[in-house]
Amino acid sequence: MGIDAEVVDNAKLFKKYPFISGRAAYIFSAIVTIFTYKYRRIQLIIDDKEITLENTLTTFANGKYYGGGMKVAPDADLQDGLFDICTVDKLSRIKMFTLFPKLIKGTHRQIEEVCFYKAKKIIVSSKDEITVNIDGEIVKRKDVVFELIPKGINFIIPRS
């Protein structure tokens, strides 16, 4: 949630033009969103730890990658039963331009405003609506709860 979700949301506007490809729409959207982004103060309860930040970006991931190959959670393990959480506190507009290449490579830990956590349950609250991207679906909410449910999805795998 935060700037990355707003880039996805704003890209819809650029995709309406027939001469702008999907990839170009995201690039244009990223540039425009960096200059128009409004920080939202959010409160996170990560298991029992409370954190408040001026959100640039906050991600709850089960896997290492999202968004077409950005390595936002470099230490994530699909089998550990925990979300890997990456928070990015308020960044200057200039520093935002350095964030995305580092997210792609998974080297954003070097940025001072970046923190990592692990948890089973996260509660997010804000006075203002925040843009949240849930596996490609954009929602705008003031309060959101994320919780991992062990063995929550059953798979049927045919015998070979």
* Structural domain count of the chain: 1
Give the pLDDT band (50/70/90) at residue 159. Answer: confident
Question: For the chain, what percent of residues have pLDDT higher than 70?
Answer: 100
**Parallel/antiparallel/unpaired status of strands 83-88 and 114-119:** antiparallel
Q: Tokens 């925040």 map to which residue? A: 130
Two structure tokens written together for 16: 């309406």
Give the pLDDT band (50/70/90) at residue 42. Answer: very high
The whole-number pLDDT of residue 128 equals: 96
**114 inside domain:** yes
**90 inside domain:** yes
CATH number at residue 56: 2.60.200.40
**31 inside domain:** no
Instruction: Give Cα 19 distance to the centre of its chain.
Output: 28
The whole-number pLDDT of residue 160 equals: 77
Question: pLDDT at residue 5 above 80?
Answer: yes
Tens-digit pLDDT profile for residues 68-109: 788 999 999 988 999 999 999 999 999 998 888 898 899 999
**18 inside domain:** no
**110 inside domain:** yes
Q: Is 47 helix (H, G, I), strand (E, B) or coil?
A: coil
> What value does the mean pLDDT of the chain take?
92
The whole-number pLDDT of residue 59 equals: 95
**14 inside domain:** no
Phi/psi for 92 (5° steps) reads -70, 160
Interacting residues of 90 by C-beta distance below 8 A, sequence separation 6+: 39, 53, 54, 55, 56, 113
Give the pLDDT band (50/70/90) at residue 8. Answer: very high
**94 inside domain:** yes
pTM over cut 0.75: yes
The whole-number pLDDT of residue 99 equals: 87
Q: How far apart are alpha carbons 27 and 101 in whole angstroms?
A: 12
Tens-digit pLDDT profile for residues 52-69: 999 999 999 999 998 778
Residues 116, 109 contacting (CB under 8 angstroms):
yes
Best CA proximity match to 50, nearest among 77, 87, 15, 76:
87
**131 inside domain:** yes
Residues 99, 57 contacting (CB under 8 angstroms):
yes
The whole-number pLDDT of residue 76 equals: 94
Residues 20, 28 contacting (CB under 8 angstroms):
yes
Rounded mean pLDDT, 120-146: 95
- The range of the structural domain enclosing residue 64 comes to 40-147
